[in-house]
Amino acid sequence: MKIKKSNAELEQKLEQIKTLIKQKIELPSKTSYAIIKNKIAIERALEPFVLSRDEIIKNKAGGKTSVSAKDDPKAFNEICEAINEIALELSEVEISTIKLSDIAEREMPLSAIDALSFMIEEG
């Protein structure tokens, strides 16, 4: 299934999945594989965004890898505006789905269900 989400939304989902992985919740192998496969697909989809973001920072921060609002408010604001613009761009990702029935019998925190919600098919 293909999904279209903004780069910001994909980054958020990626962080949720990484957090879920650290929780070491035991799931069926097929489900776990789909989650890892989706994590990799999201990381690949975000590569152009991450490269662009890093380039924006480097160019507007005078070659530095970061800039603070306190040290250079003008550059900081320009960087934020430019990053916000590309963060809203949509990316398409091919994801693997999992069936709700595959995880229905598992006790999982709401944060885990939220992290997986975009890949869950009811049934």
Residue pLDDT, tens place only, 67-102 = 788 888 888 999 999 999 999 999 999 999 999 988
- pLDDT on residue 26: 86
- pLDDT on residue 123: 67
Q: Kindly report the pTM of this predicted structure.
A: 0.88
Helix (H) or strand (E) run with residue 43 in it: helix 29-60
Give the angle subtended at the CA of 56 by the CAs of 53 and 59, to the nearest 5°: 150
User: In this structure, how many other beta carbons lie within 10 angstroms of the beta carbon of residue 31?
Assistant: 20
| Beta partners for residue 94, in sequence order | 2
In the predicted model, residues of the chain with pLDDT beneath 70 are: 123
Q: How many domains does the chain have?
A: 1
Domain containing residue 94:
2-121
